[in-house]
Protein backbone atom coordinates (compact mmCIF):
# COMPACT_ATOMS: atom_id res chain seq x y z
CA UNK A 1 0.00 0.00 0.00
CA UNK A 2 1.22 3.48 -0.85
CA UNK A 3 2.42 5.74 1.94
CA UNK A 4 2.02 9.42 2.82
CA UNK A 5 4.56 11.59 0.99
CA UNK A 6 4.26 9.51 -2.21
CA UNK A 7 3.10 11.11 -5.47
CA UNK A 8 -0.43 9.80 -6.07
CA UNK A 9 -0.57 7.59 -9.19
CA UNK A 10 -2.76 9.17 -11.87
CA UNK A 11 -5.52 7.08 -13.43
CA UNK A 12 -8.48 7.43 -15.76
CA UNK A 13 -11.61 5.41 -14.99
CA UNK A 14 -15.27 5.67 -15.98
CA UNK A 15 -17.77 7.23 -13.61
CA UNK A 16 -21.34 6.02 -13.01
CA UNK A 17 -22.44 7.71 -16.25
CA UNK A 18 -19.67 6.12 -18.34
CA UNK A 19 -17.63 9.35 -18.56
CA UNK A 20 -13.84 9.12 -18.19
CA UNK A 21 -12.55 10.81 -15.03
CA UNK A 22 -8.84 11.27 -14.28
CA UNK A 23 -7.19 12.06 -10.98
CA UNK A 24 -5.35 14.95 -12.65
CA UNK A 25 -8.76 16.55 -13.38
CA UNK A 26 -8.74 17.59 -9.71
CA UNK A 27 -5.25 19.15 -9.59
CA UNK A 28 -5.19 22.02 -7.10
CA UNK A 29 -7.87 20.44 -4.90
CA UNK A 30 -7.68 18.04 -2.02
CA UNK A 31 -9.02 14.63 -3.02
CA UNK A 32 -10.48 12.05 -0.64
CA UNK A 33 -9.98 8.83 -2.58
CA UNK A 34 -11.63 5.84 -0.96
CA UNK A 35 -11.54 2.25 -2.14
CA UNK A 36 -14.31 -0.13 -1.13
CA UNK A 37 -15.13 -3.78 -1.91
CA UNK A 38 -18.64 -3.82 -3.41
CA UNK A 39 -21.75 -1.72 -4.14
CA UNK A 40 -24.91 -2.47 -2.15
CA UNK A 41 -23.23 -4.50 0.61
CA UNK A 42 -23.99 -3.45 4.20
CA UNK A 43 -20.59 -1.96 5.10
CA UNK A 44 -20.02 -0.28 1.75
CA UNK A 45 -23.52 1.21 1.80
CA UNK A 46 -23.01 2.63 5.33
CA UNK A 47 -19.65 4.08 4.28
CA UNK A 48 -21.06 5.66 1.09
CA UNK A 49 -24.06 7.09 2.95
CA UNK A 50 -21.75 8.58 5.61
CA UNK A 51 -19.72 10.32 2.87
CA UNK A 52 -22.99 11.47 1.25
CA UNK A 53 -24.24 12.84 4.59
CA UNK A 54 -21.00 14.80 5.05
CA UNK A 55 -20.77 15.86 1.39
CA UNK A 56 -21.51 19.56 2.00
CA UNK A 57 -18.86 19.67 4.74
CA UNK A 58 -16.29 18.18 2.32
CA UNK A 59 -17.32 20.73 -0.34
CA UNK A 60 -16.95 23.60 2.15
CA UNK A 61 -13.36 22.43 2.74
CA UNK A 62 -12.78 22.38 -1.05
CA UNK A 63 -12.29 18.60 -0.95
CA UNK A 64 -13.48 16.21 -3.67
CA UNK A 65 -14.76 12.76 -2.64
CA UNK A 66 -14.16 9.86 -5.03
CA UNK A 67 -15.19 6.26 -4.35
CA UNK A 68 -13.60 3.41 -6.31
CA UNK A 69 -14.55 -0.26 -6.58
CA UNK A 70 -14.40 -3.08 -9.15
CA UNK A 71 -18.15 -2.80 -9.76
CA UNK A 72 -19.47 -1.94 -13.22
CA UNK A 73 -20.62 1.49 -14.37
CA UNK A 74 -24.22 0.18 -14.33
CA UNK A 75 -23.84 -1.08 -10.76
CA UNK A 76 -22.44 2.30 -9.64
CA UNK A 77 -25.33 4.10 -11.35
CA UNK A 78 -27.92 2.01 -9.50
CA UNK A 79 -26.00 2.35 -6.20
CA UNK A 80 -25.75 6.16 -6.52
CA UNK A 81 -29.42 6.51 -7.48
CA UNK A 82 -30.68 4.21 -4.74
CA UNK A 83 -28.82 6.08 -1.97
CA UNK A 84 -28.61 9.60 -3.47
CA UNK A 85 -24.81 9.62 -3.59
CA UNK A 86 -23.65 13.08 -4.74
CA UNK A 87 -19.95 12.30 -5.17
CA UNK A 88 -17.95 10.63 -7.94
CA UNK A 89 -18.02 6.82 -8.11
CA UNK A 90 -15.45 5.22 -10.40
CA UNK A 91 -15.56 1.75 -11.92
CA UNK A 92 -12.23 -0.13 -11.88
CA UNK A 93 -12.99 -3.66 -13.18
CA UNK A 94 -9.39 -4.07 -14.44
CA UNK A 95 -8.05 -3.00 -11.00
CA UNK A 96 -5.92 -0.22 -12.56
CA UNK A 97 -6.17 2.19 -9.59
CA UNK A 98 -6.89 -0.56 -7.06
CA UNK A 99 -3.52 -2.18 -7.74
CA UNK A 100 -1.64 1.11 -8.25
CA UNK A 101 -2.63 2.14 -4.71
CA UNK A 102 -1.88 -1.31 -3.27
CA UNK A 103 -5.35 -2.02 -1.89
CA UNK A 104 -5.77 -5.39 -3.71
CA UNK A 105 -4.65 -7.73 -0.95
CA UNK A 106 -5.16 -11.09 0.64
CA UNK A 107 -8.18 -11.08 2.94
CA UNK A 108 -9.32 -13.61 5.52
CA UNK A 109 -13.02 -14.04 6.15
CA UNK A 110 -14.30 -16.81 8.42
CA UNK A 111 -11.08 -18.75 7.85
CA UNK A 112 -11.33 -18.46 4.06
CA UNK A 113 -8.49 -16.68 2.27
CA UNK A 114 -9.17 -14.72 -0.90
CA UNK A 115 -7.95 -11.66 -2.78
CA UNK A 116 -10.00 -8.49 -2.60
CA UNK A 117 -10.12 -4.77 -2.03
CA UNK A 118 -9.07 -3.71 1.47
CA UNK A 119 -11.30 -0.77 2.46
CA UNK A 120 -8.81 2.12 2.49
CA UNK A 121 -8.84 5.91 2.17
CA UNK A 122 -6.19 8.27 0.83
CA UNK A 123 -6.15 12.04 1.22
CA UNK A 124 -4.30 13.58 -1.72
CA UNK A 125 -3.09 17.16 -1.43
CA UNK A 126 -3.58 19.90 -4.05
CA UNK A 127 0.01 19.16 -5.20
CA UNK A 128 -0.88 15.53 -6.04
CA UNK A 129 1.06 14.08 -3.11
CA UNK A 130 -0.60 11.66 -0.68
CA UNK A 131 -1.03 13.42 2.68
CA UNK A 132 -2.69 10.68 4.68
CA UNK A 133 -3.29 6.95 4.30
CA UNK A 134 -5.96 5.13 6.29
CA UNK A 135 -5.81 1.37 5.69
CA UNK A 136 -8.57 -1.01 6.84
CA UNK A 137 -10.99 1.79 7.76
CA UNK A 138 -14.31 1.23 9.48
CA UNK A 139 -17.30 2.07 7.23
CA UNK A 140 -19.23 3.88 9.97
CA UNK A 141 -16.47 6.26 11.11
CA UNK A 142 -14.34 6.78 7.98
CA UNK A 143 -16.06 9.96 6.67
CA UNK A 144 -16.03 11.64 10.10
CA UNK A 145 -12.35 10.75 10.65
CA UNK A 146 -11.41 12.23 7.28
CA UNK A 147 -13.38 15.42 7.98
CA UNK A 148 -11.64 15.74 11.35
CA UNK A 149 -8.27 15.34 9.63
CA UNK A 150 -9.11 17.93 6.93
CA UNK A 151 -10.23 20.46 9.57
CA UNK A 152 -7.08 20.06 11.70
Catalytic residue numbers read 44
Do 124 and 36 touch, CB atoms closer than 8 A? no
Do 84 and 48 touch, CB atoms closer than 8 A? no
Contacts of 73 (CB under 8 A, 6+ apart): 14, 15, 16, 17, 18, 91
- DSSP secondary structure string for all residues of 8-29: PPP-EEEETTS-EEEGGGGTTS
- Residue 83, SS3 per DSSP: helix
Quote the crossing angle between the two packed helices 42-53 and 142-151, to the nearest 10°.
30
Amino acid sequence: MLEAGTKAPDFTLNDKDGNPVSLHDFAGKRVVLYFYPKDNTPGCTRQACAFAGAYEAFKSLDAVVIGVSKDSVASHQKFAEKYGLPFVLLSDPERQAIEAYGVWQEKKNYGKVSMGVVRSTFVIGPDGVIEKVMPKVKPDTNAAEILEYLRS
